[in-house]
Structure formats: structure tokens, C-alpha cells
Structure 1
Amino acid sequence: MIVPRVVALLVLLSACSTPDDRVTATASAPPPDPAFVELERRFDAQVGVYAVDTGSNREVSYRADQRFAFASTFKALAAGLVLKAHEGGLDRVFRYSPAEIVDHSPVASGKTGLTVLETCDAAVRYSDNTAGNLLLRDLGGPKGFTAALRDLGDETTRSNRTEPTLNDTSPGDFRDTSTPRALATTLRTLLTTDRLPDTPKSILLDLLHRNTTGDKTIRAGTPEGWTVGDKTGTAAYGTRTDIAVVTPPGRAPILLAVLTTHTNKDASSDDALVAEAIRMALEHFS
């Protein structure tokens, strides 16, 4: 059952869609570059940020067109596409063998199948890697997922591998990468246009709102009282990522993506870095 707040937010999101379903941005917030340069210096990291207010189309961007590993953020986009493909059969079961269960599969472990809805729930809310692979498999593998993204208008995001090897990233490796602008824009396309029918859209938004992995990232960087839905990711070189829809009280939603990484292969991912980047980006819409 979709809770009333999701229905209300869908009305806001739909009102912010563009007539031809192509997401555009026409006005920009003041360039925040110096603040983000200092943030990178403090954390010895690279930070990519793109945020857009769907009511005004005002933007905040920093390294918005630089490639980063997308890590598990892909699961939100893949879930939306799978929900659309199986809108009339969400109780269909995706079967898998014990050999197909991979690391970090808190929901799929010990089972031999998940329904479409359970798979999407596990992938988005718990970042279950086996569930993520089931989504990719249903879409025709990484190539099929990439093709589906192209059909949505995303010419940037590229999927090449499955979990967990897609997280084995390194500087200069463009496999399984995207940009902050592309990820936020594709999430906006899924949530604000009719490319995703109302029922799959409602389910995806509900799953994002009930995500269990973003308390120390997006929720730590978002003002109290704002509604938050997100999908996080973690990869090599201390890569930590988050894509989200956040809604200030009484205002249109903001779509954003924050992607961070380090130059040291053994670097640890830093939730505080992501939270601070999100806080800084959202300040421009206050």
C-alpha cells in the first residue's frame, strides 16, 4: 500500500515535469565551486555534485560532468525499469541458485527466489547485491540495462559488470560509471515524467523513502523536516555515492547526486564527506 505522503509527493513531482518529458535546466544558482574546492582539500578527496530544484530548475553543480563509479546507486534506476516491465506481475518470482548468491545479500541469502517486488525492495532499501544482479539479469544484463538507460535519454551512464565486481573501480576506468548530472537527471526522468507509469513510480518513490542505508549520508546532510528518499553506493578507492530526491516542506522536490572518491586505493569511504557535500548543495536552495 502506498502511503499518502508518497501520493502527495508524486503530485508535486508530476507538476514539475516538462511537457515533452525531456528534463531541462534553465537557471543556475551562484557557482559554489570555492566551497567545494575547500571541501575536497579538507577530505583529500574528489567530489562531484549536481542538484536541481524541480520547481525553479535552479542548479548547483561541481564536477557535475566528471565520471565516477556509480556503485550501488544503479539499483534505484534498475528497480524503476524492472517495476515498469512487470507492472502487472509484481508477484512473479525470480529464481536463483546458491551459486548466484554474492557478498552482501542480507535478503537473498538462504532463499532460492524473490518476487519482483521483493527483489526491488531488497536492492533499493538494503542494497542487496544478489537482488541487484537479479534486476540486471531481468533487464538483459549490463548491456540491456545500458540500452534501457539510453532509451530514457541517458547517454552517459554505462553498465559493464555485475555485483560485486562492478565496485572494483580505479582511476581512469570508465566501466560502471556515470556523472552526477546524468544520475540525478535520470532519477528525475523516472520520478517526474510519464516514462514510468504511476504505479511503478509510486513504488519506487516509496522504496527510496524507506531506504535503510542513507542515515549517515543524505539524511545527515538534509535539514530537519525535509522528506528524503535515496540510494547509496560504496566502491573501491573510498568511493561513496548517493542519489536522492529531497523535498522541502511546501516546495517542489530537489533531485541530486553526490559522488565522491579518493586517489588512494586503500582509502576508506567517508559518509561525513557525502553528508557535508549534500548539506552545502542544499543550502543554495534554502
Structure 2
Amino acid sequence: MTSPISRYMRAQFTIVALAGLVLTGCASASPSTDASSVPPSAPPAQPVDGAAEFTTLEATYDARLGVYALDTGTGSEISWRDDERFAYASTIKAMAAAALLDTVGLAGLATPVPIEESDIVPYSPVTEPRVGGSMTLGEIAHAAMTVSDNTAANLMFEALDGPTALDVDLSNLGDDTTVVSRIEPDLNEAVPGDDRDTTTPRAFATNLNEYLFGEHLSGGEKAQLETWLTGTQTGDTLVRADLPTDWVVGDKSGSGGYGTRNDLALIRPPGRAPIIISVMSSKAEPDAESDDRLIAEAAAAAMVALDAAND
């Protein structure tokens, strides 16, 4: 049976390069709608080769592209430059919010934090008007996640005892790849060859999968993280742009120097297990413009590949 995303993509983009996908041993998807439930018997991940489509996208947009997508029901993977380093930019806010939940719990989100003039950095639409007052940690995390408020991100870092402490939190999660070094806005510098504030598509997607479906967060904390993801106002032109409108998508976007444009997302197609996807990109020039369409088309191509894997 042809799925909605396959029909949609074939009509809109005529994607044919994925017809020769390499696939072995994938099982049927197990529907899941509970943010706190992990598919109980997902088989080991199986790689699917979408190289032709991703190569074309890199050439079209003159960019380096990294993709890692995981079907949590079947264990099928889509991967392209998934172990190469990219500047994570504001997608780190999703990791900070998850680590904050792990550290303070739901009750701790009610903790008030004073907002001072000295805290404010560029692009702080929620926190800047609150100078002289206070916000709760929950309000701060909501601002960082849904509108990518940079001061809010720094206040989350501070609540976690700084970037180095978040780096340790991610290491405890099993991520020995990500290097958390600086706060906003410096973390967006993205100079090629500088490992500070970088990760890989696989590492960040694996982290998000662990926070949403692993053992580190309680059921209520997982639900809160997913609520922040689905409440984002910055991702309409990214992963969710070319997916069917009845698919629920929660994401955290990011952008930085050297054309960096990223999106880290949870996708819930109706009637099947959730999908975790990380799409990252960069360009050669410091002032290069990023391309949202590259992220959208790469995500849609990855979904077509997963459909092929599960047919």
C-alpha cells in the first residue's frame, strides 16, 4: 500500500532516485501515540541508502548536508554524513531543555529566575520585556524552545551550571560526540574545523530519542518536552514543510555562520510509530545564506526512503 507521504512526494517532487534503496530485515511499524512509551520490541536499526537523492540536494544547494532519521517502530535508518560534525546552533536548546527537565523535574520548573539587563543578548523577544522582573524556569524553557529566545537559552545553561555541565549531562546520556562549549550568541559562530559547539546528526537524533523514549525522563517530563517541541514557532519552513498536514511534527531549529541551517524533529505520522530526524547543513563561505528548502526537501526524501523500507 502506498502511504500518504509517498503519494504526496511523488506528486510534488517526482522523486525517483530512491527506487534502488538497499534494505535488509525491517519489520512492521508499531503505532505509538504516548510520549512516554518506547516501542517495546523495535529490531536493531537497519540502514537504507538514499545517497543519490542527498547528493543531488547537496549539488543543487551548494551545501554540505547531514541527515539521520530513525523509525522507532521498525528500527530502519536513513543516514547521510550522519557522523560528520556540524555546528548545532540553536538546536542545542532542545538538549538544554531536556537536561533541565532531567535536573529539576516538573516541580522545579516553577522556580523563579530574575531577569536582569545584563542578561540580555541579541534576539530575546520574550525575556527582554521582562527585565526587572522574573520568569519561571518553565517560562524560560518555553521561550527558548518555541521562539528560540537566546537569553532564555543562556538562563537554561546557567540553571544547569553552564555549558560544560550540559556537556557532562549529554555524556551521561551516552553522547561522547557533542562538544558543548559556549553560550548564545557565540555558539553560532560555526567556523569549519572548530569542534566547539558541534555535534553530528546521528548524535543529536539519538539524544532526542533517548530523552523522549528512554529511561532518563519520567512520563510527565517526556510529555512536557514534546509539548515544547510541538509548540515551536520557528520550524514551519523546515522538516514539517513538505510533510502531510495531518502529521504531527515537533522540532527545534537552528541557524548560524557558514550557511548553517538545522532542524531536529519528532514526527508522528498517523497510525504508526514516531520518527526522529536530524537534518543539518553548512556552506563554505562565512556569510553564506542558509536554505530552508534544503532542510525541507531532505526531510521529505528521508520519509520517502523510510516508506520504501517499510513496504
TM-score, with normalisation over the residues of structure 2? 0.85
- Residue from 130, 140, 144 that aligns with 1:111: 130
Higher mean displacement: 110-119 or 246-255? 110-119
Q: Distance in 2 between matches of 1:221 and 1:27?
A: 25
Residue 111 (structure 2) aligns with: 92
In the alignment, residue 98 of structure 1 is paired with which amino acid?
E
Secondary structure of 1:196's match?
Answer: coil
Structure 2 contact 86–281 (Cα < 8 Å) conserved: yes
Residue 250 (structure 1) aligns with: 271
Secondary structure of 1:162's match?
Answer: coil
In the alignment, residue 38 of structure 2 is paired with which amino acid?
A
Residue 193 (structure 1) aligns with: 214
Query: Percent identity of the aligned residues?
Result: 42
Residue 3 (structure 1) aligns with: none
Structure 1 contact 83–200 (Cα < 8 Å) conserved: yes
Q: Distance in 2 between matches of 1:124 and 1:244?
A: 12
Give matches, 1:43-62, under 5 Å: 43-62=61-80
In the alignment, residue 66 of structure 1 is paired with which amino acid?
E
- The structural deviation recorded for 1:221 is 2.8
In the alignment, residue 283 of structure 1 is paired with which amino acid?
V
Residue 10 (structure 1) aligns with: 34
Cα deviation digits, residues 30-73 of structure 1 (max 9, x gap): x1112111110000000000000000000000000000000000
Q: Distance in 2 between matches of 1:186 and 1:122?
A: 21
For structure 1, the 5+ residue unaligned runs are 1-7
- Residue from 139, 146, 157 that aligns with 1:136: 157
Residue 262 (structure 1) aligns with: 283
Compute the RMSD of aligned alpha carbons: 1.5
- Aligned CA distance change for structure 1 residues 216 and 243 (closer, same or farther; 3 Å): same
Secondary structure of 1:172's match?
Answer: coil
Cα deviation digits, residues 218-250 of structure 1 (max 9, x gap): 121323321101000000011000000101110
Q: List structure 1 segments (4+ residues) > 4 angstroms apart after TM superposition.
A: none
In the alignment, residue 16 of structure 1 is paired with which amino acid?
P
Structure 1 contact 17–193 (Cα < 8 Å) conserved: no
Give matches, 1:30-179, under 5 Å: 31-87=49-105, 88-112=107-131, 113-179=134-200
For structure 2, the 5+ residue unaligned runs are 1-31
Q: Distance in 2 between matches of 1:219 and 1:25?
A: 27
Q: Distance in 1 between matches of 2:182 and 2:44?
A: 31
Q: Distance in 1 between matches of 2:301 and 2:193?
A: 27
TM-score, with normalisation over the residues of structure 1? 0.92
- Residue from 214, 232, 236 that aligns with 1:215: 236
